[in-house]
Structure 1
């Protein structure tokens, strides 16, 4: 196996043995040799390219295309399969992708109006084989341009290097005791850190098996009989509603939740039905995963754990002063470590603005840290830090309390403009279908009793659903 695979992709990290069912996805079962042979054939075809786009469908073709580019040292631009013409045009133009590796999207007539670049298509053949030696690219080579969700303006291209990805994966291997004996199961999209880098490159590097379920349904997760499961909170919410499937996951070693806060009631229900508390973790496209609950450590509902190996964190207030680690004081989270990104593609000003003068990345998330180093993410500074009546309030702590009420299925708390208070705390509540009626005064009183009176919502609005992006994150700007 090539040195490249030992340094990033790890098809070789499985102690030299081949596994006939290393990856199961979209009706295909691939051994490590299948992936390496087909990917080396891809590498030979794309080796002169700088960047190529991959329509990141949950298929074997996507996996072979990505591994082939990594072998060749070619940068991958994963494109969400549900991209509209405007988003697609932006990603292709901004990234400078030179071709589609594998099938491109069927844009139809809409593509012409959105001026989507017409790129050549390079097919990926799953049954092709090539065993030529591939020179090892530099560890500093950019492996991916990942586009952010674009909640504030057009999506930015996040540059992730090979060495950052390797460092990030290896830190999680230590935190989660992840070994070649594991079978990872998930049904997440393959165009972001969670599903693609952790969920595909992770098992390839570790040497564990991967089962991608297509859709992350409770039944598919239960039938996969894995040892390690990845899911976003909406996945775990559906799992706990299917008691039979949830109990089947009790045979697993770890259940990992990320990409958004896991509601405490879902955490507790998972623990009740599976016999184990889920792992929660924190990260973003720019940082990979920097904080996580450990497999051998405490798992506390509503908290995402401690920094992984090589990572340092700190909190700063709006004036740049230190925020105490007392488990209560809120500050903007800053991090540094070997798995951080190399900047935003073509945006030197945005890159510079995201770093402090002394070398810390400003996440834009607000958090609290306790004396033991445990982190709780309150939310985004732009949407979840509410300044009301002279107080600084985190929306996440209010949401946690409200989710404990039996009438509340989902909730998002936002600060709306108010002439008197500056911002007025408003709770947008999705009620339980089979639960009691949502009573505004009950919810307001609950928060005032469990937190502080100034943290109570001034208004409760009942809604049918909350706006979310492809990764399940609530888009609060649409509520505001």
Structure 2
């Protein structure tokens, strides 16, 4: 297909030097700059003895150049979804090195400054049969599974997406809320725009304010989004200017609740094109719900579907071979298309009884007190059902006026006709949103981490892109009080700093490159049972100027901790 040739020959055949590839801080990153950066990366990778490298970049233009530089150097690129310590430890056992924007202890590769040396650009056509990429998916167990991809699989999928949606990209800038470190963002945010010759934004849009501003300034545009962003579009935001130029809206990475559709249609002017697939299978089907009853999915071009025992099977050029592959999705088909019925791997056993986590979540949402809910099985000597939920206005009112126990009981009552009393959820966490990765997917490990006894159950009181305020009780059974001190428990200062770092990382766009602490004070002891307020304020790093996170932890007794965390200036 043409897109095969476009991407496999992209650097070998080239494009005009001034052809726009990416948009960065209002400036165009042209094909000459992209080629020069890719050459620097190719030289950097070619100088390394190993073949397998983990690549992580914040900037999509840098990432695209590094990716093609690695492929042209004959390397296999592993894509970590994040840079947390556990992810990097697991990757260290699989790869020969690291590259990009990773912590210094990983000793990541970074190329020398790009030089436009046209005589050295002896680009060859990429071998599309080579294994060139490894992506990761958590699956139902939460343990990461490595999924290798040949270039022909990726390029075939780009060709399929172009055949289905390419006309919508013509003349438009591609904006995204999702990360290119995952397969959805890689395809829609980087590879598809490259094949189509349309510029993509180098920076990810993390907040609704960023989305509205970027759409208003971008002119004709395409937005690649996740359900996590589309189901939280604030009606008070001014969307009018951005709505006029929005050519297409894509959504993938998880199911988009039907409740999110009215805001999408009203605020963004259209329902999203939802794409269903997985890291293992690639894209499978798509739909656009212009009406709530438009629930059926249509197979993508070249993808064949069949149903066996309510299980969906797929055969497509995006797979590693030409065989039929079973998915973990339950489905049915009729003349209107495909209907998805939930995940087969979300059936768990509790007290020897089978429980559908999908059915449990549906019953909770039907109770009228929640916006979102995720059920999981917490391991232990006696496995127990647990729920992480985002209350709606009525749910928070019940929580704040009558206490967490009252909300627990109301939700348990909503499950009375679904589960036997003995296996009702025993653990509940109420959060401002479901923890998701940059792709908008809830990770099992992140959900389970909310039940860590070292973590306070916080109530978010206010939030802006540069500030946040929370309230929580310092639980008497916190492990941080162990041995500190017998008979007179006091929360250690290091635990308070850990909470500052934890909540700032979840609520604010905290920069990389921690440098030092400043003006840190602990004027009052913090005993168990205290109800405290944590205030966070962030000043982002600018060119030649350091970033600063200021914090204050206080209660009715006064201030317990305050200070600043300083991050490196941008070069």
Deviation at residue 375 of structure 1 after TM alignment: 3.3
Residue equivalent to 1:30: 29
Does the 8 A contact of 2:364 with 2:373 survive in 1?
Answer: yes
Q: How many residues align?
A: 424
**Residue 310 (str. 1) matches residue 302 (str. 2):** yes
**Residue 196 (str. 1) matches residue 162 (str. 2):** no
Where 1:338 maps in the other structure, the secondary structure is coil
373, 377, 385: which one aligns with 2:337: 373
Any idea what the Cα deviations from partners look like across 1:111-149, whole Å, max 9, x if unmatched? Answer: xxxxxxx66734253454446232223211122111223
Deviation at residue 182 of structure 1 after TM alignment: 2.3
366, 374, 377: which one aligns with 1:412: 374
TM-score normalized by structure 1? 0.73
Where 1:463 maps in the other structure, the secondary structure is strand
Following superposition of structure 1 onto structure 2, how do residues 351-362 of structure 1 map, counting pairs within 5 Å? 359-362=323-326
Deviation at residue 445 of structure 1 after TM alignment: 8.7
Residue equivalent to 1:111: none
Residue equivalent to 1:276: 270
Question: Could you tell which deviates more after superposition, 433-442 or 62-71?
Answer: 433-442
Whole-angstrom distance in 1 between the partners of 2:117 and 2:277:
36
Residue equivalent to 1:431: 391
Does the 8 A contact of 1:139 with 1:161 survive in 2?
Answer: yes
Change over 3 Å in CA distance of 1:444–1:152 after alignment to 2: closer
Residue equivalent to 1:106: 104
Residue equivalent to 2:228: 234
Change over 3 Å in CA distance of 1:175–1:75 after alignment to 2: same
Larger Cα-atom Rg: 2
Change over 3 Å in CA distance of 1:469–1:227 after alignment to 2: closer
**Residue 224 (str. 1) matches residue 207 (str. 2):** no
Does the 8 A contact of 2:44 with 2:111 survive in 1?
Answer: no
Change over 3 Å in CA distance of 1:313–1:269 after alignment to 2: same
Deviation at residue 365 of structure 1 after TM alignment: 3.0
Structure 1 unmatched runs, 5+:
108-117, 316-321, 324-330, 343-357, 418-422
Whole-angstrom distance in 1 between the partners of 2:430 and 2:181:
28
Does the 8 A contact of 1:293 with 1:304 survive in 2?
Answer: yes
Change over 3 Å in CA distance of 1:167–1:219 after alignment to 2: same
Change over 3 Å in CA distance of 1:276–1:394 after alignment to 2: farther
Structure 2 unmatched runs, 5+:
400-406, 452-571
Deviation at residue 284 of structure 1 after TM alignment: 1.6
Residue equivalent to 2:154: 165
Where 1:366 maps in the other structure, the secondary structure is strand
Whole-angstrom distance in 1 between the partners of 2:350 and 2:207:
40
Following superposition of structure 1 onto structure 2, how do residues 253-268 of structure 1 map, counting pairs within 5 Å? 253-268=247-262
Following superposition of structure 1 onto structure 2, how do residues 449-468 of structure 1 map, counting pairs within 5 Å? 459=424, 463-465=429-431, 466-468=434-436
TM-score normalized by structure 2? 0.63
Does the 8 A contact of 1:250 with 1:276 survive in 2?
Answer: no
Does the 8 A contact of 2:134 with 2:146 survive in 1?
Answer: yes
Where 1:220 maps in the other structure, the secondary structure is helix
Any idea what the Cα deviations from partners look like across 1:132-178, whole Å, max 9, x if unmatched? Answer: 23222321112211122376364232111111011111111222234
Higher share of residues assigned strand: 2
Deviation at residue 232 of structure 1 after TM alignment: 1.3
Deviation at residue 66 of structure 1 after TM alignment: 1.0
Does the 8 A contact of 1:283 with 1:290 survive in 2?
Answer: yes
Where 2:161 maps in the other structure, the secondary structure is helix
Residue equivalent to 2:55: 54
Change over 3 Å in CA distance of 1:332–1:136 after alignment to 2: same
Does the 8 A contact of 1:334 with 1:362 survive in 2?
Answer: yes
Following superposition of structure 1 onto structure 2, how do residues 116-155 of structure 1 map, counting pairs within 5 Å? 121-123=109-111, 125-130=113-118, 132-149=121-138, 152=141, 154-155=143-144
The one of the two structures with greater contact order (alpha-carbon pairs below 8 A, sep at least 6) is 1
Change over 3 Å in CA distance of 1:47–1:299 after alignment to 2: farther
Whole-angstrom distance in 1 between the partners of 2:413 and 2:143:
40
Deviation at residue 363 of structure 1 after TM alignment: 2.6
Whole-angstrom distance in 2 between the partners of 1:9 and 1:446:
58
Residue equivalent to 1:285: 279
Does the 8 A contact of 1:10 with 1:206 survive in 2?
Answer: no
Deviation at residue 337 of structure 1 after TM alignment: 0.7
Whole-angstrom distance in 1 between the partners of 2:243 and 2:362:
25
Whole-angstrom distance in 2 between the partners of 1:3 and 1:332:
32
What is the CA RMSD across the aligned residues, in angstroms?
Answer: 4.1
Residue equivalent to 2:318: 339
Where 1:248 maps in the other structure, the secondary structure is helix
Deviation at residue 186 of structure 1 after TM alignment: 0.6
Any idea what the Cα deviations from partners look like across 1:255-296, whole Å, max 9, x if unmatched? Answer: 1111111111112221232231111111221222121126xx
Change over 3 Å in CA distance of 1:433–1:10 after alignment to 2: farther
Whole-angstrom distance in 2 between the partners of 1:249 and 1:12:
38
Deviation at residue 27 of structure 1 after TM alignment: 7.2
Does the 8 A contact of 1:264 with 1:302 survive in 2?
Answer: no
Does the 8 A contact of 1:306 with 1:374 survive in 2?
Answer: yes
Deviation at residue 204 of structure 1 after TM alignment: 0.5
